[in-house]
Amino acid sequence: MTETRRFVLAPMDGMTRASFRLVCFEYGAEGATTEMIQSLALGRAKRRLSDTFAETMVRLPGEGNLAAQLIGSVPAMMGASARKLTDMGRFDAIDINMGCPARKVVGSGNGSALLKDPDRALAVMRAVRENTDLPVRLKLRLGWDPEHITAPELARAAGELGFESVTVHGRTRTQMYSGDVDIDGIRRVVAATSIPVYANGGVTRARDALSFLAATGAAGVSIGRAALKRPWIFDDIRRLEAGEPVTERDAGERVRVLERLAALACGLRPEPVAIAEMRKFSAWLLNGLTGSADILKALNTVVTLDNYRALMDTYLNTLIRENDTQIHPELAGEESLDTV
């Protein structure tokens, strides 16, 4: 299968729930991947899935091309999980996670820990491929550390096994999210396989995505943390490619996005839980607006969707009255998103 997707939303644990994915699709994302689905949970036929785990696998009407992200390191369990995901009839592909650098993940031998054990990684890849008729994708980093750069080898194997694509984050696990993305390293992965490679890492704005695509020679770009602060980045990319002007989104649009996201989230989770999670999205999207610190403080006491909307509307109306709805660069800090 030849992919036509170019700019897609990267999976982020605790962030890329169906509500956020749908907002990104509405702004033009050409694909997305669920949060991590643990093979240990999904592979046990008798285990009753928790509400939180089940939410991970929700797909909302309007979502475009969507892959289920499967994580684990036991081939038999990964194969069983691939069958279960396939039988759900809910996803367009299965994406194997060999890129997550989180300590709790690699400590269990999962995620990027597999980059230290190519034989086990290959066994996992074969088990998933043999147990689904869905397209299979692979997400990985360049390697565990500079002495263990295994991404080209695994990308080559993915092509030989008939995988649909590979996404490579241009850093090693030991780098986590620090340091420069290794453009040459990504190029070597592109050169190692015949299937499409998606470049990931270091994109903050639309222009970065376009230059990243050109520099790496990749088939597309997987955008993660930048979308948390700018879910409209996919529309910005479209505008740049069309020669249209791209400017910062004003307070009106940012508040509308937050209220849309809050409504979707509350449809999937209890309101107090969903609204509590909206605090981090509110902080990112309101960054650079006058008075946003006061609103974020007030959000700590909000637990219902109606109250969230009322607070956001009051804030927006205040900015409109003061003719102060534009982003102020001097107020906009670049908060760390390294924890996602």
On whether residue 150 sits in a domain, the answer given is yes
Q: Work out the average pLDDT over 233-247.
A: 96
Please list, in sequence order, all residues whose beta carbon lies within 8 angstroms of the beta carbon of residue 20, skipping any fewer than 6 positions away: 231, 261, 281
For residue 335, what pLDDT band results from cuts at 50, 70 and 90? Answer: very low
Give the Cα separation of 269 and 298 in Å (integer). 22
Tell me: do 88 and 56 sit in the same domain: yes
Q: Which of 23, 78, 85, 100 is catalytic?
A: 100
Strands 93-98 vs 32-38: parallel, antiparallel or unpaired: unpaired
Number of separate domains in the chain: 2
Q: Is the pLDDT of residue 100 over 60?
A: yes
On whether residue 266 sits in a domain, the answer given is yes
Tell me: do 198 and 298 sit in the same domain: no
**Domain that includes residue 219, residue range:** 7-241
Question: φ, ψ for residue 213 (rounded to 5)?
Answer: -60, -45
What average pLDDT does the structure give for the chain? 92
Instruction: Tell me whether residue 100 is one of the annotated catalytic residues.
Output: yes
Tell me: do 93 and 47 sit in the same domain: yes
Tell me: do 231 and 261 sit in the same domain: no
Q: What is the pTM of this model?
A: 0.93
For residue 53, what pLDDT band results from cuts at 50, 70 and 90? Answer: low
| pLDDT reported for residue 44 | 55
The amino acid occupying position 182 is D
With beta carbons less than 8 A apart as the criterion, state whether 259 and 251 touch.
no
Cα torsion 264, 267, 271, 274 to 10°: value is: -40
